[in-house]
Chain A
Amino acid sequence: EAGVAQSPRYKIIEKRQSVAFWCNPISGHATLYWYQQILGQGPKLLIQFQNNGVVDDSQLPKDRFSAERLKGVDSTLKIQPAKLEDSAVYLCASSLAGGMNNQPQHFGDGTRLSIL
């Protein structure tokens, strides 16, 4: 089966600019996650969707980060305006619906964001 697709793979922007990342989950996976992975650390959950509804966005910096999954499939994560501390890899993951937090999560290759 095709895995989780993400684009772009790399992005370099200056601080205060905006950036958007795209994710296409594994077909049939109703739950989609966005993680931030800072160099040398484990992934940290930013937001979790079940179909097109938000399940958990408690760690999303809502003053600058936003995410949507309008049709319950693809998702977009946006940062506006970017700060230096946003430099990280942004990983998208998906899992089957039902028992959301006990289903194996499968990750995409991520987008490596560098803020100058």
Chain B
Amino acid sequence: GENVEQHPSTLSVQEGDSAVIKCTYSDSASNYFPWYKQELGKRPQLIIDIRSNVGEKKDQRIAVTLNKTAKHFSLHITETQPEDSAVYFCAVAGGKLIFGQGTELSVKP
């Protein structure tokens, strides 16, 4: 079955810096890659997604890049703000949605 690895597990940055979270997957048939943000005690919220026919997608300060050949995709957050602090999950759709283990992002003011 599909295997999703997410790194790093924790990430601490200064406000204004950029943050990058990477995920790798195993099933080359996977074709949908969403990212979720989950604040403590809250629901996972979809922040951006990308499909396999696109290499990059951007939404304001958030971007996702996909390398299908290498089977990895990354979330990029620029100009980080304290309210970006949360756990971020990547996910891969290959028959079902498989989530990564999560990255706890801390943005220090």
Once the chains bind, are A102 and B44 in contact (CB under 8 Å)?
Answer: no
- Residues on B with beta carbons closer than 8 Å to the beta carbon of A74: none
Are A91 and B43 neighbours in the complex by a CB distance under 8 Å?
A: yes
A42:B43 contact, CB within 8 angstroms: no
Please tell me which one of the listed residues B46, B93, B98 contacts residue A102 in the complex, with CB atoms under 8 A apart.
B93
Tell me the residues in window 14-72 of chain A with beta carbons closer than 8 Å to chain B beta carbons. 33, 40-45, 48, 56
A102 to B4, CA, bound (A): 17
Encode contact with B along A94-106: 1 for CB under 8 Å, 0 otherwise. 0000000110111
Q: A41 contacts B97, CB within 8 Å?
A: no
Contact size range, A? 20 to 34
Among B36, B46, B96, B102, point to the contact of A48 (Cβ < 8 A). Answer: B96
CA distance A4 to B45 in the complex (A): 12
* Nearest CB of chain B from residue A7's CB, rounded to whole Å: 14
A41 touches B46 (CB 8 A): no
CA distance A33 to B98 in the complex (A): 13
**Inter-chain contacts of B43 with A (CB < 8 A):** 4, 91, 107-110
The reply to whether A101 and B100 form a contact with Cβ atoms under 8 Å apart is no
Is A42 touching B42 in the complex (CB atoms < 8 A)? Answer: no
When chains A and B are docked, how far (Å) is the Cα of A43 from the Cα of B87?
12
In the complex, chain B residues whose CB is within 8 Å of the CB of A106:
46
User: Which residues between 31 and 56 of chain B lie within 8 Å of chain A, taking CB atoms?
Assistant: 31-32, 34, 36, 42-46, 49, 51
Known contacts A104-B34, A108-B43, A109-B42: A40-B95 contact under CB 8 Å: no
Residues of B that sit less than 8 Å from A by CB: 31-32, 34, 36, 42-46, 49, 51, 89, 91, 93-102
Contacts A91-B44, A104-B34 supplied; 10 other A-B pairs, CB < 8 Å: A4-B43, A33-B97, A42-B91, A42-B101, A48-B96, A56-B96, A91-B43, A102-B93, A107-B45, A109-B43
Ranked nearest first, the 6 interchain pairs of A and B with the lowest CB-CB distance are A42-B99, A101-B93, A102-B32, A107-B43, A107-B44, A109-B43
